[in-house]
Amino acid sequence: MAFSTSTFMEEFNRKRVGADEAVKVVKSGDLVHYGEFMMNSHILDAALAKRKDELEGVIIRTVCCPFPAQTVLSDPERKHFVYNDWHFSGASRKLHDKNLCNYISLTYHEGPSFYDRGYVPVDVAMIKVTPPDKHGYVNIGTSNSITHAFCDAAKIVIAEVNEAVPRCLGGSRETLHVSEIDYFVEGDNKPLIQLPELPVSDTDKKIAELVMEQIEDGACLQLGIGAMPNMVGAMIAQSDLKDLGVHTEMLVDSFVDMYEAGRITGLRKQLDKGKMVYTFAMGTKKLYDFMDNNPILASCPVDYSNDPDIICQNDNVLGINNAIEVDLYGQVASESSGVRHISGTGGQLDFIYGSYKSKGGKGLICLTSTFEDKEGNLQSRIKPILTPGATVTVPRSMNFYVITEYGMAMLKARSTWERAEALINIAHPDLRDDLIKEADKMHLWVKSNKI
């Protein structure tokens, strides 16, 4: 249906209500879907928390909410609100430690299909958007991901309108029309939450230097979260690499640095030539300002950005991701340390698989060789077996490359003893003998093994 300017503005104004009024639509037993990442609305969350004593058994789902939800803090017995996160933030991790938040398992590119197939019956969606443009469309900002999918599935959609939200161009499905939203709530127009700058260690720099050796002119980049991927971006910005492309899950500040240094053009991409494709962004004001109305960027749903069959259509895809630990079989744990949940699967599995299918592609799992435990003892991140209870993020059959500060191990087409040898070779030198002893007990060692 076509709308004149006066028609959609009349509809927009008619749908404007206070936050307390908007959340009255939530009933006991409803499934309420919050927004994603920096596009979560603390205003709507706070308004819903006020209704605690009127409600029971409301299921809340979010994606990596960066702040501790007031609905959760107001209800430590989880009688009124049951909070769940598709991908843990630091705030969700702390809530999980107190048994106040549960993780929802997700292979990220499949996310929208859960709503399309009716697996997640959404009663109320609560999101954050820009004001409507002259055509009557609001922009869903820095988080495309699964937002349109759960809004399409929702019986009622409530949107906080915030003038600080950057208008992020598509791509696809980066907007909703005023007619698709039931209630609009005026936001406080505060800037989006910014990620703190992460300290970069000497070890991170060594790993980043090894990653740099794998990057060629025209490579198509995916960077995960963390100090080391950011360090790679900084090194690329200072390098003489040319015509790099971007097809990533997460857009971070270092992409701005690389673009402004002239390293990113996207002109050698086979798909979305000249565009930096992403599905969500987390960073600082520098990143959010760069995203606003920038036609070099393409905001896409996650079933496009993270689909391995889409990823591999670009040549020389280089996926760069962190991990918590890797065992001698090659299994990667990036989500939990034992039973303590830390993060989510995210796009790591998608990009490890997609990069392998890409002509000339490489999927890199990067981690420091050691960490210090609570007693100050040096512990290896390359382990005989994963810590009991640890979640396998990348199965051994799909793992590609593993990098520590001591080198790189290629695991494809290698037997168990070859994998053990390659991984022990990039473990900390002081801990290799113990790993060899354990490998021998596990029948992963043969006489021809060399260290």
Q: Which residue of the set 249, 325, 405, 421 is catalytic?
A: 249
Angle at 301 between CA 331 and CA 314, to 5 degrees: 65
Secondary structure in 3-state letters for the chain: CCCCHHHHHHHHHHCEECHHHHHHHCCCCCEEEEEEHHHCCHHHHHHHHCCHHHCCCEEEEEECCCCCCHHHHCCCCCCCEEEEECCCCHHHHHHHHCCCCEECCCCHHHHHHHHHCCCCCCCEEEEEECCCCCCCEEECCCECECHHHHHHHCCEEEEEECCCCCCCCECCCCEEEHHHCCEEEECCCCCCCCCCCCCCCHHHHHHHHHHHCCCCCCCEEEECCCHHHHHHHHHHHCCCCCCEEEECCEECHHHHHHHHCCCECCCCCCCCCCCEEECEECCCHHHHHHHCCCCCEEECEHHHHCCHHHHCCCCCEEEEEECCEEECCCCEECCEECCEECCCCCCHHHHHHHHHHCCCCEEEEECCCEEECCCCCEEECEECCCCCCCCCCECCCCCCEEEECCEEEECCCCCHHHHHHHHHCCCCHHHHHHHHHHHHHCCCCCCCCCC
Evaluate whether 366 touches 230 at the Cβ level (below 8 Å).
Answer: no
Residue where the block lists tokens 């396998």: 392
Sign for the CA dihedral angle at 135, 137, 138, 141 comes to: negative
Under 8 Å CB-to-CB from 182, ≥6 apart: which residues?
15, 25, 156, 157, 158
Check if 438 is active-site.
Answer: no
Tokens representing residue 288 in the block: 């959010």
Catalytic site positions: 249
